[in-house]
Amino acid sequence: MAPRYHVVTLFPAMFAGLTGYGVSGRAIRDGLCSVRFWDPRDFTRDNYRTVDDRPFGGGPGMVMLVEPLDLALTAARVTLRRQGVSAPRLIYLSPQGRRLDQAAVAELAGAAGLVLLAGRYEGIDERLFARHCLEEVSIGDYVLSGGELPAMVLLDAVIRLLPGALGHADSAREDSFVDGLLDCPHYTRPERYMGLEVPTVLRAGNHGEVARWRLRQALARTLARRPDLLERRVLSPLETELLGEIRREGDAASAASD
């Protein structure tokens, strides 16, 4: 059964970019997954379709009402249960949550169903966590106007890992962070442009040398830009050898410039 993704959001139209274009849009059209939206306004009881109110205790901003969100989340869960997903993961997109990284994306890509809650205003009524055992996931240490963009980021990252979503089976495996390293540089035609040339090794046809070059470049980039990734990585003998070469070259360049 294809994974089913439900999103509770005040602005379903914002997701048109995700559902209509690119890898995610094609995956949805091909039936590799499905995405459905639930608007909390459809679960309100007043003529104004009110979804927020002032916080108890005072303070700036508004808080999303518990009942419309509770009913929307319940509707999503019941629908998924009827479709054969008995225990979907419920995720609230929040800057207070677990940081979304490639390992978390891979974990979520294995779920049969996800229910994402995109909040707005100052946040959601805390009682929703008790009602639905919401997980919190963050895409970074900053604040956005709402959870729609983080929900799209999460879904795009998850969908591209589904079997058949990418044009080549190796594409997802060779992305940055999949093996704990940043990605290597990439080149395509023409071989020469404005005095800049594609590295000879990539044009020579020796697949073993190409693989070694790409690994070396990935290690060099990771060392320069994200050395913290190397600190928690168990290096293979080849990676240790290449990293030693990179560091010796860096030391020699520093000494030459002194």
Segment 164-198, tens digit of pLDDT = 999 766 666 656 566 789 999 999 999 999 999 99
Model confidence pLDDT, tens digit, residues 201-256: 999 999 999 999 999 999 999 999 999 999 989 999 999 999 999 999 998 888 88
Helices then strands, each counted (H, E), the chain:
9, 9
Instruction: Please state the φ and ψ torsions of residue 189, each to the nearest 5 degrees.
Output: -65, 150
Stated pTM of the model: 0.89
In the chain, pLDDT over 70 holds for what percent of residues? 95
**Cα 151 to Cα 3, 35, 77, 108, 217, distances in angstroms:** 16, 12, 17, 13, 32
CA distances from 114 to 58, 99, 154, 171, 229 (A): 34, 17, 11, 24, 29
- The position carrying tokens 């209509």 is 20
List residues with catalytic annotation: 95, 122, 160, 175
Count of other CB atoms within 10 angstroms of residue 63: 19
- Phi/psi region, residue 212 (left: phi>0; alpha: psi -120 to 50; beta: rest), is alpha
Give the start-to-end residue ranges of the domains of the chain.
Answer: 4-159, 192-257
pLDDT digits (tens, 9 = 90+) for 33-54: 999 999 999 999 999 999 999 9
Mean of pLDDT values over 132-138? 97
Q: Which class would CATH give 192-257? A: mainly alpha
Asked if the domains at 4-159 and 192-257 fall in one CATH topology, the answer is: no
Structural domain 4-159, CATH architecture: 3-Layer(aba) Sandwich (3.40)
Residue 145, judged by CB atoms within 10 A of its CB (0-12, 13-18, 19+), counts as exposed
Which residues, in sequence order, are bridge partners of residue 136? 92
Burial status of residue 128 (CB atoms within 10 A of its CB: 0-12, 13-18, 19 or more) = buried
